[in-house]
Chain A
């Protein structure tokens, strides 16, 4: 979906022209600054190379500082369905943006608060506060040393049971779960076959492992099979010995695309070729499936067929941290050898309690149906919002049930216009552009939540329709009133 060739010809052309204007003007200004004004920027000490590389420096000065008001926006409340945004001075050169002291109440379409656990909850919050009183907020030690409380043990048991795996282990950060654990699972002489759009933490983990990495086209099962056949028949580079292990790494929902992994086909392939499967459910756990059990439940795949299940608690559960759920042997090995377990500070006990409370609620263990309603509400909201955008005629990525709805903007300038106009209309959104996406893949990424009401979504759709028209996003529809819509919003 995200392939550059997918952008319609006219869009691609205009976006490319826009990018080349941005780059050439940037370079022109640099040239003038360097040779006419004789300003070489902040000098570095003699004998030292500049700390930023040329292209990084160029990107920061000429592109990033023009739009940095759209990124790194401070917020002053919990990320519920409505959040308080801190207003800042408009960008001017490379100056820091200073808060003006004013607060703007905005509809939150940017946080991964899928199940609405990020704001205070009548069931979860009292339990969290109790855990804070009982266990304090920091263990000041690693899990392997003196950092394991009954809460940690209970949490791991809860997670394993929820996923239907033998055992689980948890860590204090989702990113580090991937970057520190993948090197334990594979090493030199092993092969990682990774989806092209896998998250940066998986890339970091693969790179740190020393294994050979091959990348298949995003969610393209045929390409995956071709790579598997090719790799197995060729063996290791140079020596042509068979691979010690082959690990396929995919995500449940891809965070930039909103697409759901083609799990049944990949499981069939992994069985056929004797590879192992690592499934990163950072975005899908709690958000997919009838009871929130993630991509496996969504597709009706037995979790026993997924060798290593990884996920984070940051999104659906409104907490922090990550887990690995697998067979007992794997988890015991990770527990004994994982640097994240041996040296990093243990998870804060109130966070562990928040996760357990959220899990209990989802499974209806609190005695109410709120959990089930939340899950249903998220699916309904996602579908309603996605269809609303599609009706406008906008290009939307992803599949029906996914709570991530990326809307293609194509033009780099749309990124700022869209973000600033949305903020004006009291909607907080996240815009993403190059280099986080392909050059032509500039997009705005809406994240739906169970805490959004139908009025919230109607409000958002109404304003977005106006802004999208002004940005010339819809393929069809009237553009006559676009200017007026922009003025009104």
Chain B
């Protein structure tokens, strides 16, 4: 791999979308099955640039309560009307959409842009969004769908495209798909893909694109390398990863004092969150105890900026590279630590 030049030291929108970046955009679009893709140099700036490019004070964002801070920030920056619905609760989503439609009709407002904003796999809780039902609802109420696939890309779907593919949706049926390149693509940055009009508009209106330096090219090359692997060796990787995810989830389901977030429907998600259900257990304490027994997992702290305050959780992430005995070791260590702290 060549890495002589770290920076482009230029604005991406001015003279610096150079070949590795152009290549990566083309490759991402091909991989995701969309017309075009656009790269942002940081995952945290991706959604906060995409949403304000398409929504303003006249528009409506119906947003899951469990979305990450980046999406919350994007919603706030757009100044659009934000209507939250209960996390992964389709009845509540329907209720909110109906209410919004009724309000709109009563106030006789002109037709505005409406979006449902969700994550494919929620970073904060590790569960999968029921995309099939959400898609039906959004079609029924004429909403556009924004999905952040950060934790679903390279995890779910026949080709690894994420939650949309997992639920049998075609590319571009979901209007705006974003994801970070920092997870499955083992690089840095984020991207958004969709049809030509959707992406081209961001080249003029996406704040994080117009007003920031572009991604260092060597990181684009790294992401292209990861895409090569995903395209050529996805099937064995997927089998291994899904097997590992299912195994560890079943192992962690019955630890006393630690509640596994999500349900059986989320078995394929590679992100697992455990919430201490017993007051004696402190997530941070468990994580540092585990470190001593040679297992490194993390405690996810939440920022005070998040709209809905949530307690810290223990986060376990499995990869395709883990062996069965690794998973057993994690489960045993967690069980021991929980028992030890409760006694």
Tell me the A residues contacting B by CB distance below 8 Å: 42, 45-49, 51-53, 56, 59-60, 64, 71-79, 83, 85-86, 110-113, 117-120, 125, 128-129, 132, 137-141, 144-146, 172-176, 179-180, 183-184, 199-201, 204, 207-208, 312-315, 317-320, 336-340, 342-345, 347-348, 350-351, 354, 428, 430
Contact = CB atoms under 8 A, between A and B. Distances in A.
Given A75-B15, A172-B188, A340-B44, A129 B3 contact: yes
B305 A183 contact: yes
A175 B208 contact: yes
22 contacts: A42-B197, A51-B144, A74-B19, A75-B18, A78-B8, A86-B19, A111-B9, A140-B183, A141-B298, A144-B298, A173-B42, A173-B208, A175-B212, A179-B73, A184-B304, A201-B211, A207-B79, A318-B5, A344-B182, A345-B188, A347-B188, A350-B218
Nearest to B223: A138
Interface in B149-177: 175
Contacts of A113: 9-10
Interface of B: 1, 3-11, 13-19, 22, 41-45, 48, 54, 56, 68-70, 73, 76-77, 79, 111-114, 123, 142, 144, 175, 180-183, 186-189, 197-198, 200-201, 203-205, 207-208, 210-213, 215-216, 218-219, 222, 296, 298, 300-306, 315
Contacts, number: 250
A318 B9 contact: yes
A238 to B, nearest CB: 20
A180 B218 contact: no
Contact of B216 (A45, A56, A320, A340): A320
B10 A110 contact: yes
B77 A78 contact: no
Given A112-B9, A120-B4, A318-B6, A48 B144 contact: yes
Given A125-B4, A173-B41, A175-B207, A343 B183 contact: no
A345 B222 contact: no
Contacts of B303: 184, 337-339, 342-343
A339 B13 contact: no
Contacts of B186: 137-138, 140
For B1, B3, B79, B210, the residue with the greatest tally of chain A CB atoms inside 10 Å of its CB is: B3
Given A86-B19, A172-B42, A173-B45, A430 B14 contact: yes
Closest 3 CB pairs of A and B: A345-B182, A173-B42, A47-B142
B15 A430 contact: yes
Nearest to A357: B6
Describe A's contact surface by its main secondary structure. Answer: loop
B4 to A, nearest CB: 4
B5 A118 contact: yes
Given A52-B201, A146-B298, A112 B10 contact: yes
Nearest to B185: A138
Given A51-B198, A146-B296, A176-B45, 4 more contacts: A144-B298, A201-B212, A336-B301, A344-B182
A72 B14 contact: yes
Contacts of B48: 179, 204, 208
A336 B306 CA distance: 13
A172 to B, nearest CB: 5
Contacts of A312: 213
A223 to B, nearest CB: 25
Contacts of A338: 303
A176 B42 CA distance: 8
For A59, A173, A313, A347, the residue with the greatest tally of chain B CB atoms inside 10 Å of its CB is: A173
Contacts of B216: 319-320, 348, 351
A128 B64 CA distance: 42
Contacts of B10: 75, 79, 110-113
Given A111-B8, A137-B219, A208-B76, A339 B305 contact: yes
A207 B305 CA distance: 14
Contact of B187 (A52, A120, A137): A137
Contacts of B4: 78, 119-120, 125
Contact of A52 (B79, B181, B197, B298): B197
Contacts of B76: 207-208
Contact of B9 (A179, A315, A345): A315
Contacts of A176: 42, 44-45, 208
Contacts of A173: 41-42, 44-45, 208, 212
A111 B9 CA distance: 6
A144 B144 CA distance: 34
